[in-house]
Copies of this chain bind each other. A is one copy, B any other.
Amino acid sequence: MNAEIIAVGSELLLGQIANTNAQFLSQQLAGLGINVYFHTVVGDNAARLEQAIKVARTRADLIIFTGGLGPTKDDLTKETIARLLQRKLVTDEEALRSIEAYFARTNRIMTENNKKQALVLQGSVILKNEHGMAPGMAITIDSITYMLLPGPPKEMQPMFLKYGRAFLLEKLGQQERIESRVLRFFGIGESELETRIQDLIDQQSNPTIAPLAGDGEVTLRLTAKHRSEAEAKKMLDETEKKIVERVGAYLYGYNEETLFEKAIQTLKAQKKTVAAAESLTGGLFLEQLTAVPGASQVVRGGVVCYTNDVKEKVLGVPHAVLTADGAVSERCACLLAENVRTLCQADIGISFTGVAGPAPLEGKPVGTVYIGISTSDNRTDVYPLTLSGQRDAIRVRTAKYGCSFLLKALDGYR
A residues adjacent to B (C-beta < 8 A): 11-20, 22-28, 30, 36-43, 45, 48, 51-52, 55, 59, 210, 212, 221, 275-276, 278, 281-287, 289-291, 293, 295-296, 299-307, 309-310, 313-314, 343-345, 357-358, 391-392, 395
Contacts and interface: CB of A to CB of B under 8 A. Distances in A.
Closest 6 CB pairs of A and B: A282-B290, A283-B283, A15-B26, A15-B27, A39-B41, A283-B286
A200 B397 CA distance: 46
B39 A39 contact: yes
Given A26-B13, A30-B14, A41-B22, A304 B304 contact: yes
A286 to B, nearest CB: 4
Contacts of A284: 283, 287
A212 B307 contact: no
Contacts of A41: 22, 38-40
Most buried by B among A290, A301, A395: A301
Contacts of A14: 26-27, 30, 36, 210
A260 to B, nearest CB: 11
A25 B16 contact: no
A343 B303 CA distance: 11
Contact of A303 (B20, B48, B293, B302): B302
A287 B283 contact: yes
Contacts of A24: 15
Contact of A39 (B23, B40, B309, B314): B40
Contacts of A23: 12, 15, 17-19
7 contacts: A12-B39, A18-B19, A51-B59, A275-B310, A282-B290, A283-B286, A300-B307
Contact of A283 (B40, B212, B285): B285
A219 to B, nearest CB: 9
B293 A301 contact: no
Contacts of A40: 38-41
B306 A303 contact: no
B293 A282 contact: no
Contacts of A221: 16
B395 A291 contact: yes
Nearest to A35: B13
Given A22-B19, A22-B41, A287-B284, A314 B309 contact: no
Contacts of A307: 296, 299-301, 344
Contacts of A19: 18-19, 22-23, 39
Contacts of A20: 18
Given A291-B392, A301-B306, A48 B37 contact: yes
Contact of A55 (B55, B281, B303, B392): B55
Given A16-B212, A283-B284, 8 more contacts: A13-B37, A14-B36, A15-B36, A18-B23, A51-B59, A282-B295, A287-B287, A293-B357
Nearest to A28: B15
A42 B352 CA distance: 43
A153 to B, nearest CB: 11
Given A12-B39, A18-B19, A278-B283, A314 B303 contact: yes
A302 B311 CA distance: 10
Contacts of A52: 38
A167 B287 CA distance: 43
Contact of A11 (B39, B212, B296): B212
Nearest to A311: B301
Contacts of A43: 37
